[in-house]
Amino acid sequence: MPEKLTAICVGTFDGVHRGHAALMQRARACAGGASGRVIAMVFDPHPLAVLRPGSEPARLSSSEDRSCWLEAAGASEVHRLDPAGGVLGLEPDAFVGWVAERFNPTHWVEGPDFRFGKARAGDVVTLRVSCAARGIAVEVMEDHGVALADQQIVPCRSATVRWLLEQRRVFDAAALLGRWHTLVGTVVQGDRRGRTIGFPTANLETLVVPPGAGVYAGIATLPSGAALAAAVNIGARPTFDRPSTVEVHVLNAERWSEVGPVSEYGWTLRVELVSFLRDTVRFGSVAELREQLGRDCQRAADVALAIGSGADAQLQGAP
């Protein structure tokens, strides 16, 4: 017998949304609470990146954020499963045996659509049979439903989050995630045009999928930990006929010194996307663009103030 109860969950857990969090919480209960061990086994990158490169879904989270969020949700340990390491070629029962040998779980907790093993041949029925032969209890949780702004209840799935982001519905995406969708990446050099019109931007290079093209209100977190309101342009810049980018204009530019002793480029910036403000449009002149950017910044500041006055609490309290 194992020294302590150990519950295991296997998946990609991209975005670590509320459904994933519910899975971790159930695993924690199966493991006997704080005294038990909860292991999240995470495929990284997505298996499709190995099986059919280029067909894998866009990432909702960095590897580092995913691990932190899983631990915050209840995982004791997060173990990376490398899909290129041969594990995808294991038959379903062999995969269960491989996991059991390494972690000796007492419980295995998954959602209803869990598939595993070579050619995704295993499902929750297969899992129950394979685990029963090894004395492992299996719990299959139902989909976690979340209410959107229009009160429609949708299953909490990463694919739904991606669709909502594509539609620029960042508040609804946040309702599923349980937090604002976060872009994290490295500040790189752009064409430095923003500073010439009074709105300098940090150009963000990120592996995390941005929402659909538009201008958004956000909260930018600097390396110092300072969190400042920001206006974020995502997508093409039609006024200047430039390709798609993620450009972050941080309000209160005088506080850029809080970045600390780092170079102009190459540092990490986190941006939480809070509200869609407007479409990207072509302006007739730089003067018109400058006026609109001023309005965008004011609206972004208003959104940041609303968050401080309770909008963030409203999100956290969503079902």
113 inside domain: yes
Q: Are 196 and 288 found together in one domain?
A: yes
Domain residue limits at 201: 180-316
272 inside domain: yes
1 inside domain: no
Q: Are 129 and 235 found together in one domain?
A: no
Q: Are 136 and 187 found together in one domain?
A: no
Residue 238 has pLDDT above 70, yes or no: no
pLDDT score recorded for residue 226: 84
Average pLDDT over residues 154-162: 96
CA dist 213 and 150 (Å) reads: 22
CATH of the domain at 191: 2.40.30.30
Q: Indicate the residue among 87, 115, 142 that finishes a domain.
A: 142
pLDDT score recorded for residue 194: 53
Average pLDDT over residues 42-50: 95
23 inside domain: yes
pLDDT score recorded for residue 17: 98
Q: Are 136 and 12 found together in one domain?
A: yes
157 inside domain: no
CA angle 75, 76, 77 (to 5 degrees): 90
Q: Are 217 and 122 found together in one domain?
A: no
Considering its fold, how many domains does the chain have in total? Answer: 2
Plot region of 300 (φ>0 → left; ψ -120 to 50 → alpha; else → beta): alpha
Structure tokens at 158: 């990463």
Q: pLDDT category, 199, cuts 50, 70, 90?
A: confident
Residue 195 has pLDDT above 70, yes or no: no
Q: Indicate the residue among 123, 142, 161 that finishes a domain.
A: 142
Q: Give residue 33's Cα distance to chain centre.
A: 26
| 3-class secondary-structure state, position 305 | helix
CATH of the domain at 50: 3.40.50.620
Range name among 52-56, 290-294, 314-318 with the lowest pLDDT average: 314-318
This model's pTM is above 0.75: yes
70 inside domain: yes
From the number of C-beta atoms within 10 Å of its C-beta (0-12, 13-18, 19+), residue 218 rates as buried
Structure tokens at 50: 């190995």
Average pLDDT over residues 193-219: 85
75 inside domain: yes
Q: Are 259 and 306 found together in one domain?
A: yes
Q: Indicate the residue among 114, 142, 170 that finishes a domain.
A: 142
Q: Are 124 and 236 found together in one domain?
A: no
Q: Are 196 and 287 found together in one domain?
A: yes
Average pLDDT over residues 93-117: 97
Q: Are 120 and 190 found together in one domain?
A: no
Structure tokens at 100: 């059991």
Q: pLDDT category, 260, cuts 50, 70, 90?
A: low
Handedness of CA 71, 42, 178, 209 (dihedral sign): positive
Plot region of 200 (φ>0 → left; ψ -120 to 50 → alpha; else → beta): beta
Q: Are 127 and 195 found together in one domain?
A: no
Q: pLDDT category, 85, cuts 50, 70, 90?
A: confident
Residue pLDDT, tens place only, 7-23:
999 999 999 999 999 99
**Higher pLDDT among residues 36 and 281, named by residue:** 36
Mean pLDDT (the chain, rounded): 88
Q: pLDDT category, 280, cuts 50, 70, 90?
A: confident
Per mean pLDDT, which of 84-88, 136-140, 296-300 is the most reliable?
136-140
CB-CB contact of 90 with 84 (8 Å): no
Average pLDDT over residues 233-250: 69
173 inside domain: no
Q: Are 137 and 188 found together in one domain?
A: no
pLDDT score recorded for residue 313: 40
CA dist 221 and 66 (Å) reads: 18
Q: Are 202 and 116 found together in one domain?
A: no
| Distant-in-sequence contacts of 179-182, Cβ < 8 A, 24+ apart | 179/272, 179/315, 180/218, 180/219, 180/272, 180/273, 180/274, 180/315, 181/60, 181/211, 181/272, 181/273, 182/61, 182/65, 182/208, 182/270, 182/271, 182/272, 182/273
3-state DSSP: the chain helix, strand, coil percent, rounded to 5? 40, 30, 35
Average pLDDT over residues 253-282: 79
Q: Give percent of the chain above pLDDT 90.
A: 73
